[in-house]
Amino acid sequence: MVKMKKPATVASKGKRETNRRKLHFREEAMRHLMELSEDRIDYDQAALIAKLDCFACELHDCPNPKSVNCRDNPYCIKRLGLEKFEKLIKIELANNDKAKEDQRRRDVTSQPCGLVNTGNFCYVNSFLQVWFNEPKFKQIIFDWRPSEEYAKPEFPKMDVQLLMDGLQNLFYTLETTPFFDTNKNSLVINALRLTNEQQDAQEFTLMLFDSLDRNLLTHPNGELIRQRLKSLYTGRIRSTLSCDCGMTSPSDTICTSFTLVIEGHTTLNEALDAFFCVETLTDCRCSSCNKIGKVEKSTKASQLPPVLLLQLNRYNIDSNGRNHKIKTPLSYPRELTFEPNHLISGSNMEKKVYELFAVMIHEGDHTDSGHYYDLVRNPYTSKWFKYNDEKVEEMSKPPGLDVKDSKKPIKKSNATPDVKACYGLVYREKSDAGPDPPILPPNEITEKWAQATESDFVGQTNDNLDKTQKRLNEVMQRHGKLDSLFTNLQADTNTHQLKEVAFLPTSLMTDILTKEYDRASAIPEEEEKPKESPSSQDNGETNKTVANPTEMVDDVPTKKRRGRPATVRIAQQQVATQLQEHSYKICSHGKIFIDEILFGHVKGVSRQHAEVLLNKYAISVVQRSPDGVEKKRALFTGNDLCLDCVKLLHREGLFNESLENTVKLANRIVKETKSRCSTLVHSTVSPDNFYVSKKALQNFKKQAESEMQHQSKVHASGGILRFVPGAVEKLANGNGAVLVKAVTSNRGRGRKKATTTIRNPPPPTHSRSTRYATRHQAAELEQAVSEVMTDLLDSCSMQQNDAPVSTDREQSESVTDDVEMNSSTISEDSCDGTNQETMNQEESCDIKPQTNGVETTENGNVNSKMNHQSSEDMDVEEEDEKNGQTDQADGTEGEEENEKRSDSPCSSTEGGEEVEFNSELRCSHGSINVDQFRYAISPEEWEELSRYFEKCFIVKVTDDLCESCYEADQVAHHNKKDLIETLQQLQKKYGELIRMLEKRQVSESEYGTKYRFGICSIFINRMRNAFRSRTSVSTVPAICQQCLLCQHSRPYLPLQGTNTDSQGTAPPLTAQVVPLTEEEWNNFVDDWQSLTDNPLPVIPIVINKGGTIEGSCVDCFDSYLENVDTQRYIFQNQKIYIKIQNLTDEPIVETTKTKTTRRARKQGLFDMKVSSSDTIGTVKIALYKETGITPNDQILHIRLGGKLLEASMNELSLFEAKILPDNSDDPLVLIVQHSYSPSKYDEQRERAPERGFIDTALAH
């Protein structure tokens, strides 16, 4: 066998290049054929063209594997979907490892526990995670004890016992839980009644301490806790006023934190110096000497607390009153000592040394939004951790600087978040001895907490590990089965025995792998199904949700098989019921079409194992002829390659090669108008020449290609080879119940029988219930199919033969059906769907049972859905849907599979129509027409042009034209000439009047006196258009006046210029009455009657005084105005404008001041795109999403001072509420009852600082 050079792999060029690559393979084969003469094309050359000499593909097993299936290798069945299992296994291995990792308990001595952020509560987590790492504060919380004597205060006061119990529970959990995070911070959030708003972390800290200080006084056990807390964080500041006259006035105040201004400072020491510096009070008058400007204020610390809070003021206010965040890096020491000038003399506090143990960081560019996280030092291990809500990780480098380096500024280029975004610094008094381990609350308090946590941990981790291990085993088992199946399916390319190579649709293999992958991915959903309860087991009941589907079908026992795992077998059954029909084309010679191989629509596989694959998934092979006759047959093999189609491909190549030269000839003829035009050279042209139409020459290439496509389509019209999941038939009986038919095997007796299971769905209902019923039927149907398919897939032997395929009716009668329904036997005739009562019931409830690949027709017959589609549509839909889904995970794979077969210009999947060349010159009488432009060509040129077409309309220059067409053309020419002359006369007399009527202004006093008649405005517009383009007009417009009359034959439309709606707005363009003088009216009527043959009488419209029309229909006029007014409120996807007005703003009153520009009118307005069918409730929800104002807080008016759109009107449409689009001049008004903040969990949204914690328990 002569070897052809193997085609190089075409590089991927994107999804839009897919069809181009397909054509590349076909064109390459065509070029190879063109090098041969047709008599040299034999079967060996045909096999080379189909690339059946290729070897097994190795491009997917190399170190850098190809990511898509090889279209140019008919034996490559890699990358069709099995690779997704490998990714799924990796995912499941990772999940299994994670489950094992989750089983690992948290080391409470080395790994801190995180806090879950359930909303905008990062500021709460920041406080809790900082103070949990302060040993004294933690011990105070652990020492708290509730009291039965405590009386719960009335709302809205704080329940301090609830808060302290929650803190104790939370701190105990953080100390002992085996989990790596907890959500028990919700105990604190709920006790404080915190809203889902962003708040300031420092403000929260101060308010919480202040609230505890006040509310612990009301608790029987609160005083000692209060004193211990207060001594932990409070100090004293002494402020002294002094004057030159010798006056001094000291005063001490309690200080919880030092608020330091950092603007203009780069180190913490500078900020502290500024805080304790002497300040001159220029506007203060001395109480002793009564002088102004001589008083100075000095601030010094008189008592420093054990825990020191330093709040860094990171915002300033510009001249417009807007806040700006200061991002200046601030260097701070890890150990802090106070200078003597910071302390009062003799306090002996200069020896105190504070060590840094927490840094609060604000992340974000704005002062009113962002996110808080902390850097905290563990007091027992001295390790630093980054606490970011539930994520806690150890830091490699501690924040802050040494004492010496902290006095130097930090360059912005070297600044880290802990120095440029630090918002708070927390120091505690340094001690040589480390802190003591905390003493936990007694067991009677913590026992239930510990038991609940341990139970949750053990149960959750064990369940997760069991589930992930089970899922991993099932996925690997399924992958192993498929891998073995497709490995055996690979054709033996070493021997190239083409009779052992069978062709399967690529889409079929992709569909199988896709459905298998979908089933594997859906395993977790199956695991969630409820298990058998002990009570049902004791009573002998079967839980049908989880029972083995092979054990029982509607309480009818079947024989249970052994051997292979039940899970894989059941999954395979379910996949078999979900497969859709696939096919590929057969040529007109009854063999496989070569384009199917070249385009990669089929793959060559091992014939023996292809039959195994079809048997496993219960797929039958059926050949359908072009006239619809079907018969079973064996798979096509390599010996079934069509040699005639290969020769046709050779002729097509020759056609394409010569077509370009012929197209050039056609274009040259078109350009030679003067020497070839029939009207110019008719007398000099040679009598043996031919006429060809201009259109035929201009469209020559397109027509020639269409003709070639048609010829290819004829050769490819041999039908299709269908791959049908034929073991299951799905019907609907007369009561809407679902019937499942499946062929099962009786191995002992060696015969088959068909069992039919009937399941009764819910009673027929409508709307939502109807959809529920359909889903219920589908669920029961799938379960029944799984039950009856078990024996079939184990024993079904699908023998291929050439006998015609019987119809559904014949198949159902060829076996014995055992049918059970409500303990009674029914005949087969009752299920064939011909019962008229059945049809009526189905139509009344609008339920049409449908299943995968099968549909039930109105007469009850069951047909494959694909039978109602052309083979082209079937290929496109199946390949796009399945292959696109299969390759979705790999990104680039879809470009090889998600394509349409009809994109090839010569593809037989959607060929062109049959073309008759030069048919443009044929008239309706079958002779030669008159009006088509034509060229004279020589006999040689005609031969060159016509050889591409089987049918040609031959016109010689000596042939006579059609007499009827010639006479009609002469009459039309004469009439056209007369019409143009008539229009010229009318334009000369009425042209100016017609132009003036459009702008005619008429006063009310002129109606009925000067202007007594009216004419239709549509007639005036038609005449204006006729004057502009006389040559394109077929007739002179008539004065009919019918547009102005209603159904009662009375005028009802208004006068021109007076037509307005209830709002004073002009309506859409419609017919109107144009006023005329009596002379103008008479001239119009007389001239049109004389110049035109008007078959309709001219109806005069008489205008009375005051502008009323004589005999007008009042009812129709009112309906017209109502309709015009209604049309204004119908719109689609247009803007409406809303003005947001707060009650605290200026009073809402109408103003007479108008804004002069459209842009100015829209300033301060909120707009949204809606349609008139949208409801008021939809608008309110959209307002909530965009502004954060809840619908309950929205008071929406149609306009300023207009109607209120109450909650009861939420179901009204905008049309019913009479809301106009583009209403910037008169917008809707949204009144906000109070200040608001967003309800979404979005830490970049702005908060409402003016309210702070006023709505929480901290304020009471």
Per the model's pLDDT, the better-predicted residue between 330 and 283 turns out to be 330
pLDDT over 70 (residue 896): no
Question: What are the DSSP calls for 874-910, one per residue?
Answer: HHHHHIIIIIHHHTGGGSSTHHHHS--GGGSTT-GGG
Per-residue pLDDT at 566: 54
Q: Where is 959: in which H helix or E strand?
A: none
Q: Where is 234: in which H helix or E strand?
A: none
Per the model's pLDDT, the better-predicted residue between 551 and 1045 turns out to be 1045
pLDDT over 60 (residue 547): no
Q: Average pLDDT for residues 445-466, to the nearest whole number?
A: 84
Per-residue pLDDT at 309: 95
Residue 513 makes CB contacts below 8 A (sequence gap 6+) with 80, 81, 82, 84, 482, 886
Q: Average pLDDT for residues 893-922, to the nearest whole number?
A: 56
pLDDT over 50 (residue 1066): no
> Alpha-carbon distance 434 to 1202, whole Å?
72
Q: Average pLDDT for residues 908-931, to the nearest whole number?
A: 80
Q: Crossing angle of helices 135-142/122-132, nearest 10°?
A: 100
* pLDDT level of residue 1123 (50, 70, 90 thresholds): confident
Per-residue pLDDT at 293: 82
For 869, the 3-state DSSP assignment is: coil
pLDDT over 90 percentage in the chain: 22
> Alpha-carbon distance 607 to 820, whole Å?
40
For 592, the 3-state DSSP assignment is: strand
1131-1259 belongs to which CATH class?
alpha beta
Per-residue pLDDT at 753: 39
CA 1143 to chain centre: 40
Task: Give pTM, 2 decimals.
Answer: 0.47
Q: What is the pLDDT of residues 108-122, one digit of tens each?
A: 999 999 999 988 899
> Alpha-carbon distance 921 to 914, whole Å?
17
Please identify which residue in the block is written with the tokens 């509607």.
554
Please identify which residue in the block is written with the tokens 């299951």.
728
- Of the candidates 7, 21, 10, the one whose C-alpha atom is nearest the C-alpha of residue 898 is 21
How do beta strands 951-952 and 720-724 pair?
unpaired
114-441 belongs to which CATH class?
alpha beta
Q: What is the pLDDT of residues 289-304, one digit of tens each?
A: 888 888 888 899 989 9
* pLDDT level of residue 882 (50, 70, 90 thresholds): very low
> Alpha-carbon distance 632 to 634, whole Å?
7
Domain boundaries, the chain: 114-441, 663-718+913-964, 969-1126, 1131-1259
The backbone torsions φ and ψ at residue 641, rounded to the nearest 5 degrees and listed phi first, read: -70, 135
How do beta strands 235-242 and 248-255 pair?
antiparallel
* pLDDT level of residue 146 (50, 70, 90 thresholds): very high
* pLDDT level of residue 947 (50, 70, 90 thresholds): confident
Average pLDDT, the chain: 75
The backbone torsions φ and ψ at residue 86, rounded to the nearest 5 degrees and listed phi first, read: -60, -40
Per-residue pLDDT at 114: 95
* pLDDT level of residue 63 (50, 70, 90 thresholds): low
Per-residue pLDDT at 1092: 59
pLDDT over 80 (residue 559): no
Which of 107-121, 888-902, 1001-1015, 1217-1231 shows the lowest per-residue confidence on average (mean pLDDT)? 888-902
pLDDT over 70 percentage in the chain: 72
Residue 477 sits at the vertex; the CA angle it makes with 476 and 481, to the nearest 5 degrees, is: 115
Per-residue pLDDT at 568: 56
Q: Average pLDDT for residues 276-284, to the nearest whole number?
A: 87
Q: What is the pLDDT of residues 67-97, one digit of tens each?
A: 777 877 888 888 888 888 888 888 888 888 8
The backbone torsions φ and ψ at residue 154, rounded to the nearest 5 degrees and listed phi first, read: -75, 150
Q: How far is CA 125 from CA 367, 381, 418, 545, 1249, in A?
A: 19, 22, 18, 44, 19
Q: Average pLDDT for residues 729-743, to the nearest whole number?
A: 39
Long-range contacts of residues 17-21, Cβ cutoff 8 Å, at least 24 apart = 17/895, 18/895, 18/896, 18/898, 18/899, 19/899, 19/900, 19/903, 19/904, 21/71
Q: Average pLDDT for residues 783-787, to the nearest whole number?
A: 47
**Cis peptide bond prior to 764, omega within 30° of 0:** no
Per-residue pLDDT at 153: 92
Asked if residues 422 and 310 have their Cβ atoms less than 8 Å apart, the reply is no
Per-residue pLDDT at 23: 67
* pLDDT level of residue 21 (50, 70, 90 thresholds): low
Strands (E), 226-314: 235-242, 248-255, 258-261, 279-281, 295-303, 307-313
Taking the alpha carbons at both ends of the chain, their separation in whole angstroms is: 98
Q: What is the pLDDT of residues 959-993, one digit of tens each?
A: 888 989 888 888 888 888 888 888 888 888 888 88
Q: Average pLDDT for residues 869-897, to the nearest whole number?
A: 39
Cβ count within 10 A of residue 159: 19
pLDDT over 50 (residue 740): no
Which of 205-219, 687-701, 1070-1084 shows the lowest per-residue confidence on average (mean pLDDT)? 1070-1084
Which of 315-329, 482-496, 1121-1135 shows the lowest per-residue confidence on average (mean pLDDT)? 315-329
> Alpha-carbon distance 1193 to 1236, whole Å?
9
Q: Average pLDDT for residues 852-870, to the nearest whole number?
A: 36
Q: Average pLDDT for residues 1082-1097, to the nearest whole number?
A: 73
Q: Catalytic amino acids?
A: 122, 371
Category of 812 on φ-ψ map: left (φ > 0), alpha (ψ -120 to 50) or beta: alpha
Per-residue pLDDT at 762: 42
For 119, the 3-state DSSP assignment is: coil
Per-residue pLDDT at 1149: 35
Per-residue pLDDT at 1239: 38
Q: What is the pLDDT of residues 1138-1169, one digit of tens each?
A: 887 765 444 333 333 333 344 444 556 778 88
Per-residue pLDDT at 1232: 61
Q: Average pLDDT for residues 1206-1235, to the nearest whole number?
A: 80
pLDDT over 50 (residue 860): no
For 324, the 3-state DSSP assignment is: strand
